[in-house]
Amino acid sequence: MVTFQEEKKPKCVVFYGTFIDTPVLGEYRIRENTAIGVQDGMILFIEEECVDPLNVRSLYEPWEDFEIDVIDFNTDLKFFFPGFIDTHVHCSQYPNVGLFGNSTLLEWLEKYTFPMEARLDDLKIALKVYSKVIQRSIANGTTMASYYTTISPSSTKLMATLCSQFGQRALIGKVCMDSHSPDYYTETTTQSIASTREVIDFLEEELLDKKIRPVITPRFAPSCSRKLLKNLSQLANEKGGLHIQTHLSENENEIKWVKTLFPECESYTAVYGEYGLLTDKTVLAHCVHLSDQEANMIKDTKAGVSHCPISNSCLSSGECRVRWLLDQNIKVGLGTDISAGFSPSILNTSRSAHLVSRHLAMKIKGSNKEHVKLSVPECLYLATVGGARVLSMDSEISLFEVGKQFDSQLIDLNSPNSPIDVFDWQYQMNNQAEDTLYKKLPQPHYPDLLAKWFFNGDDRNTVQVWIAGKLVHSIM
């Protein structure tokens, strides 16, 4: 007997509302009354000036074959914004957020950081810490993060598994350190390479989640032997050009130390160049004290910089000259750098990038003063497109464009307990308010609302988060 099963139609989700993103540094693209169709996590179509999101399908013949779900948030004070990208975060240090006292980098590593990371070889503790940090990161609108775990491969595999379960897009890096590390938290060169391979194999052969990828992670030059640096770059190449992440030029004592450890190299950056670790998929955290020559090397190799302004302020490392880097066409994104940074929020981090640029401006005399200041849209660009460029993932994420992944947050400026007070005359876009009192007030526009979110908003305003089209967080 032949039985006929009704064929299941593929699903297309249509998101409807106001979409704001930053395709160009310093500019917003604001699309109101817009419908974005998403299938299997990818943006299939974008229809602007759409009156009825259900009728979008009539304009596109293939839609006849789809089962359509509409998610309608076309109301005042709500807008979709691309998910934030955290280009530098140590998930294993999360219990230490806010704990740094008056320490600076090298003392902080010994006193707070290495003991904490070492504890996470206990998988019960790792499970608690990693689950919390991933959820906190997503709740703050971060849809993609480049993580440092610990030297332990099993703890690292656990982190990858949890990212997959919570649905976050991530690069997962087992920390490599075979030199100048405490006895209780070190590994041999052979162990370091073998464990890195173990993690890559796990991701490629067992976890099989396209959103979770490996990143080769030499901690920083002082904690790696020449042999380890060389072997890690060979491994990245052997695997077809894996991502690489490390720290660079964060603190003056660290730089002096690198000079004594690698006297044959002209600069700190040259150490990574010498051992083949500067590629267009390398993420260099901090880059606070670079010389012109070092910036040239970064530019030539197309490596990217993760600017971590909260961390640099907490450990009093210095101020990264972001405008100077951007003017040279060097890729720049933002990193929370938990736990040298105290906040898991990239919104908070971009606020600090804004403030740090003003501190730099205050030190400058002359015409460049204004130029070094970063604007609000520039900081939001760094938080999204800038981060995607640093991770060489800008063809996949960070903008609402056909063919890109739908990684988005829904911002509600009027959510319950919102820390932002928006008055009615500040958002009634068509000046519906007839009251003459209102008419005398400045006319509202989106950049003002975005500035209010930027300076006063927090996770209470991030009411929903989607990664690859899947709802991963909701407080509505």
Ligand X SMILES: O=c1[nH]c(=O)c2nc[nH]c2[nH]1
Could you tell which of ligand X, Zn ion, none binds residue 407, using a CB distance below 5 to 8 A set by kind? none
Q: What is the DSSP letter of 395?
A: T
Q: What is the DSSP letter of 405?
A: B
Query: Quick one: which of 21, 187, 337, 458 contacts ligand X (CB under 6 A)?
Result: 337
Contacting ligand X within 301-330 (CB under 6 A)? 311
φ, ψ of residue 187 to 5 degrees: the values are -150, 160
The H or E element spanning position 317 is none
Given the complex with ligand X, which of 181 and 405 has the nearer CB atom? 181
Answer for the pair 353, 382: CB distance below 8 angstroms, yes or no.
Answer: yes
Q: What is the DSSP letter of 469?
A: T
Q: Cβ of residue 177: shortest distance to Zn ion, in angstroms?
A: 13
DSSP H stretches of helix in 372-421:
376-381, 387-390
Given the complex with ligand X, which of 169 and 247 has the nearer CB atom? 247
Prior bond of 339 cis (ω within 30°): yes
Among candidates 180, 248, 258, which has minimal Cα distance to 266? 258
Instruction: Catalogue the E-assigned strands of 328-415.
Output: 331-334, 408-412
Q: Cβ of residue 71: shortest distance to ligand X, in angstroms?
A: 39
Provide the sign of the torsion angle of the four alpha carbons 376, 289, 107, 101, taken in this order: negative
Size of the site for Zn ion (CB under 5 A): 2
Q: What is the DSSP letter of 64?
A: G
| Position closest to Zn ion via CB | 337
Length of the chain, in residues: 476
Q: Does position 90 bind ligand X by CB under 6 A?
A: yes
Q: Cβ of residue 262: shortest distance to ligand X, in angstroms?
A: 15
Q: Cβ of residue 339: shortest distance to Zn ion, in angstroms?
A: 9
Query: Quick one: which of 250, 378, 407, 412 contacts ligand X (CB under 6 A)?
Result: 250
Size of the site for ligand X (CB under 6 A): 11
* Residue 193 backbone class (left: φ over 0; alpha: ψ -120 to 50; beta: rest): alpha
Q: Does position 331 bind ligand X by CB under 6 A?
A: no
Longest Cα–Cα distance of the chain, Å, equals 87
Contacting Zn ion within 318-377 (CB under 5 A)? 337
Given the complex with ligand X, which of 195 and 336 has the nearer CB atom? 336
Query: Quick one: which of 247, 307, 321, 389 contacts ligand X (CB under 6 A)?
Result: 247
Q: Cβ of residue 109: shortest distance to ligand X, in angstroms?
A: 6
Q: Cβ of residue 277: shortest distance to Zn ion, in angstroms?
A: 16
Contacting Zn ion within 284-313 (CB under 5 A)? 285
Instruction: Fill in the per-residue mask, 113 to 142: x = in contact with ligand X (CB under 6 A), - = not in contact.
Output: x-----------------------------
The secondary structure of 160-183, three-state, reads: HHHHHHHCCEEEEECEECCCCCCC
φ, ψ of residue 318 to 5 degrees: the values are 135, -175
Token code pair at residue 352: 């600090």
Cα gap 10→14, rounded to integer Å:
13
Tell how many helices (H) and how many strands (E) occur in the chain.
17, 17
Q: Does position 254 bind Zn ion by CB under 5 A?
A: no
Cα gap 38→204, rounded to integer Å:
26
Cα gap 114→103, rounded to integer Å:
14
Could you tell which of Zn ion, ligand X, none binds residue 219, using a CB distance below 5 to 8 A set by kind? ligand X
Q: Cβ of residue 89: shortest distance to Zn ion, in angstroms?
A: 8
Could you tell which of Zn ion, ligand X, none binds residue 250, using a CB distance below 5 to 8 A set by kind? ligand X
Given the complex with ligand X, which of 30 and 99 has the nearer CB atom? 99
Could you tell which of ligand X, Zn ion, none binds residue 96, using a CB distance below 5 to 8 A set by kind? none
Could you tell which of Zn ion, ligand X, none binds residue 354, using a CB distance below 5 to 8 A set by kind? none
Stretch that binds Zn ion, among 3-11, 14-22, 109-117, 279-287 (CB under 5 A): 279-287
Cα gap 246→306, rounded to integer Å:
10
Token code pair at residue 436: 């003459």
Instruction: Fill in the per-residue mask, 47 to 86: x = in contact with ligand X (CB under 6 A), - = not in contact.
Output: ----------------------------------------
Answer for the pair 33, 51: CB distance below 8 angstroms, yes or no.
Answer: yes
Contacting ligand X within 197-236 (CB under 6 A)? 219-220
List b or e across 444-468, with b for residues whose CB sees 16 or more CB atoms inside 10 angstroms: beebebbebbbeebbbebbbbbbbb
CA angle 253, 219, 106 (to 5 degrees): 30
Q: Cβ of residue 260: shortest distance to ligand X, in angstroms?
A: 17
Q: Does position 117 bind Zn ion by CB under 5 A?
A: no
Q: Does position 340 bind ligand X by CB under 6 A?
A: yes
Stretch that binds Zn ion, among 58-66, 98-106, 189-197, 281-289 (CB under 5 A): 281-289
Could you tell which of Zn ion, ligand X, none binds residue 281, using a CB distance below 5 to 8 A set by kind? none
Stretch that binds ligand X, among 105-113, 153-161, 209-217, 415-423 (CB under 6 A): 105-113
Q: Give the interface with ligand X as residue ranges (CB under 6 A).
A: 90, 105, 109, 113, 219-220, 247, 250, 311, 337, 340
Q: Which residues contribute to the site for Zn ion (CB under 5 A)? A: 285, 337
